[in-house]
Amino acid sequence: MRYDAAIIGAGAEGLAAAALLAASGVKTIVVERSERAGGRATTREFHPGFRASPFVDELPPIPADIHWALDLSRRGAIFRPAPVSSAIWPNRQNVLRRGDASSVHRFLGAATERASDIRAHAAREIDNAPRHSFFPLFKAQPAPASWPGEGWMASSLGEVLAREIGDPDTAAHLAAAALNGRTADPLVTGSALHLSTLDSSGAVTGGLGRLADALIAAAREAGAELFLGRDATDIRHAKGRVTGVGLADGSAIEARAVISTLDLKRTFLSFFQWNALPKEIVHAVGNFRMAGATARVLLALDTALSSAVDRRGAIHVSPDLGDLAEANSAWRTGTIAPRLPMTLRVVSAADPMLAPSGQAVVTVTLGAVPYRLFDGAWTREKRDVLRRQALAALEMAMPGAGAHVIAADVIAPPDIEEALGATDGDLAGGELAADQMSSAWPDFPYPRCPLKGLYLAGSWLAMSATCAAGAAAARTVTADLTSGKLK
Amino acid sequence: MSADAIVVGAGVNGLVAATYLAQAGRKVVVLEAKDRLGGACRTASFASGFQGPTLAHALYALDPRAVAELKLARRGLKFAVRDMPLVLLRADGKHLVIGRDVRAAARAIAVHSRADAEVWPRFRRELFDLARAMRPFWWDEAGKKMPAAIGMLHRLGLAAWLDSQFESDAVKAALAGDAAPLSPLAPGSSLLLVWRAAQEMCGLQGASAIPLGGPGALIDALTAAAKIAGVEFRTGVHVSDILMKDGAAAGTVLDSGDEIAASLVLASFSRRQLLATRAGRAAFGFSQAAELERSVPAAASAKVLLALNTPPAFGGIAVPLRGRFVLADRVETFVTAHAAARAGRLPEELPMEIVFPTVGDPALAPLGQHVVSIRIAPLPRHVTGGWDAARLAAKAIAALDRCASGLARHVTAAQVLTPDDIAAGAEDECVESVERMLSHWPSRIRTPIDGLFLCGAASEPVGAVSGRAGRIAAALALREAAR
């Protein structure tokens, strides 16, 4: 089997890359370990009649040009940002509504702008590549004098929020939103970088699985092949350039370009023999910091919930900067903090298709949950700790709801690693720190890497836009194929 | 009354600045709010027959140029300990001694990890090379450009840097102790380690030393140099404002209402303290003032001095008592302590640096008895319910007792300075940050007021007993006055 491009992983990035490559005439195949394509963008029935997206509820938006190029609206993937976000404490709450013309939203707008500057800065090199197909992914911008994230790098999340927001409740609310499902010490310099994730993420009506379906349709229609249930085991290479992908059944796919949508560590440390790789790659990848911090609890309830808070958006439970800092330091030592940062979403309130009528689905996203526990493996008892904390949060947000829980599914960091192939269950694909925000190899800006023919397209490369990393890789591969670099 | 130059604050930097100005032929008056000179450097009696360093207990950043140019050795500055090995104390007796001898250090590290022992010589060489490359930038006003060698290090937290080099908790914790002012997770903490390695004491790079007679002896030598140069001292006078004339500093106003006229004013203030004066408030723009007024969640420290009626003894691997001892299990001890400090809680494990001043200088205690000097940092600035000195001391002694068993029984007296006591003694709060470490000397020393310069520890790239800010501020002031 000979292809122009082989893509490892059929998540949103892999599917978008496949669709865009195939549409520009590149012979493309996608290899996916699981029987179902979608990656993070899946929706699963976790209890008869109750469905939820197990790993994330929302994804960052797809840039308009990609959305248009893949014709996703017609295929039924409609992004729906949550209209509201709340934070609740035992005796008070703080609510932010989308579109309020307040200083908070001015701040959010500025933060989003800065995040896109950081993205554009990282993409500038890519943009310099000759353009042969589709559309300008990133607007060409004059080179900024310094790295646009410099200001955030030198301040802490708590400090920026205190300065820009003032109201401590709103500040704690935004800190919890920025750290949602991750962990960082919000009082340590540099944690302000997490503001770059405060973006207008959205859910997809019918669950994120709809997005996967739309992307699969787009890829298939464009002529890309999907190889499901096939486990890629190694990336073949000779004389410093990639020649194809080896599969678990012993067969191989020959390809001039290989796009990996897995994270940096997984790509290099599990698809290659270390001693066969150039030393600078092993060194850079070995030092890249990844660690999962997310756990999820999916709850099925036999009643439609009523509550004092607006249930159409995220509900952050008792956020407090000090607690976030302490949860982070517990996380670093491999312990489960007594008060984990938690975010509730009544996903069935915004999307009734997810639960039987008159019943409800609530997801709880827990942050600062260590992948490795200091006292051993993730046993049933330890999962129960997460379940109990999640139920306590539910009871606090919606008094009386605890009695109606008929099923609870706990997804711990190792489960996320198992299901998505994310190293250490790290959904973000690496610690968000200033030194990790540019390419690990100064001479090879992402999506390229020092190994000719290998491209990176994991969602971690463009964390505030879905499909952007896949599209960037597709564009670079098309350019390299047509310019003869991969002869 | 009038003078050519006024120096506010008689700490090390103030004394250095005053001496340089006087040597350049200026009539200099030093104004000190307290009744004694010295600021953070002081040797005082804390129990009958026992003397100890009140705050700073080891010097590691003294400006070699100031030491030579002010001829401090001739004014009586001698060192009791010239190069203190770094000792990490562990409850299991596997103490780690890292001295100047790279091979001996590697052998000691091999007890914890063979891989780390192999890495150590290269890591130390690279750290010291990088640190030397940074010296022009940190040592002299002329160093304008940040050396390219620093690369991405200023964006890297120390925990991440050490994790990429070493595997054993012991080595990482020992090194993290030198960058304790910042959380090991914060960018800039790596730079703190480099800054520390860039310093020089007694001609040795990255050394720590104790003057004979304690840190107070440094002040005595500096005072002698200043007096010989003709500096005039006034103690017990509190400066309340800067006297302004035609938009430039023209002297100082004292609490008593008296005014002292001078065309140059060098103040050991931080920018925040300057803002507390009327002239400072008028000179800073609104946004700058708001920036400065923002409360900074600074970690504080505490100081404990113990009198011991026996030489300290540690079980396990032999340790040199002239070393500086770090008590921390791993890097996370500092991470957790910083998190707890900012949340206003006392951390479970107190990260401590311990020095035995009497080992090099037996005159500080009665014969055969010893002084233990403990610095606890980071700690919260305030705790709910206020600081309990006795509890803090008990906790520190208990932690030390775990490594030197039986030590607690030999403590005959203790003096505790809680963060409150330290704040009351020296109002200057130093907040370390990447920006401060990577900004230029003139930007830290100059103020919006012509003729007013900041020469205190807050103008150093990193707060420490150094004198460098005093020397550079004096040079800058003289040059600008000549214009």
Q: Which helix (H) or strand (E) holds B86?
A: strand B86-89
**Exposed / middle / buried, residue B267 (Cβ in 10 Å: 0-12, 13-18, 19+):** buried
Closest CA to B370 of B360, B361, B378, B358: B358
Measured between alpha carbons, how far is A125 from A137 in angstroms, rounded to an integer? Answer: 12
Q: Which residues of A touch B297 (CB under 8 A)?
A: 158-159, 187
Size of interface A-B (CB pairs under 8 A): 84
pLDDT tens per residue, range B407-427: 899 999 999 999 888 887 665
Contacts of B151 in chain A (CB under 8 A): none
**Domain segments of chain A: what residues?**
2-200+207-289+425-483
Sign of CA dihedral A384, A385, A386, A392: positive
User: Quick one: pLDDT at residue B269?
Assistant: 86
**For A157-183, how does the pLDDT look when each residue is reduced to its tens digit (9 = 90+)?**
988 888 888 788 999 999 999 998 888
Q: From the candidates A159, A424, A435, which should be mutated to test the interface with B, based on the most B CB atoms within 10 A? A: A435
**Reduced to 3 states, what is the DSSP secondary structure of residue A73?**
coil
Q: Which is more confidently placed, B29 or B300?
A: B29
**B155 contacts in A (CB within 8 Å)?**
153, 190, 433-435
Give the DSSP H/E element, type plus range, for residue B281: helix B278-283
Q: What band does A460 get if pLDDT is binned at 50, 70 and 90?
A: confident
User: Would you state the pLDDT for residue A139?
Assistant: 34
Q: What does the mean pLDDT of chain A come to?
A: 87
Our CA-based measurement puts residue B197 at a distance from the nearest CA of chain A, in whole angstroms, of: 22
Contacts of A434 in chain B (CB under 8 A): 152, 155-156, 187
Predicted confidence band of residue B265 (pLDDT cuts 50, 70, 90): very high
According to DSSP, the β-strands at B79-81 and B210-211 are antiparallel
CB–CB of A411/A404 below 8 Å? no
The pLDDT value given to residue A315: 94
Say which of B160, B186, B332 has its CB closest to residue A329: B332
Q: If 0-12 CB within 10 Å is exposed, 13-18 middle and 19+ buried, where does residue A51 land? A: buried
Q: How far apart are CA B423 and CA B421, in angstroms?
A: 5
Question: Does A326 contact B155 at a Cβ distance shorter than 8 Å?
Answer: no
* CB neighbour list of residue A8: distance below 8 Å, 6 or more residues apart: A14, A31, A232, A235, A245, A258, A259, A260, A261, A262, A267, A271
As a CATH number, domain A2-200+207-289+425-483 is 3.50.50.60
Among A159, A187, A332, beta carbon nearest to B332: A332
**DSSP3 helix / strand / coil % (chain B, rounded to 5):** 40, 20, 40
Residue of chain B whose Cα is closest to the Cα of A186: B339
B-chain CB neighbours of A322 within 8 Å are: 342-345
Q: What share of chain A is helix, strand, coil (3-state, %, to 5)?
A: 35, 20, 40
Please, are residues B439 and B259 in contact by the beta-carbon 8 Å criterion? no
Largest CA distance in chain A: 66
Give the pLDDT band of residue A142 (cuts 50, 70, 90).
very low
What mean pLDDT do residues B173-189 have? 90
Q: Count other Cβ atoms within 10 Å, centred on residue A280.
A: 13
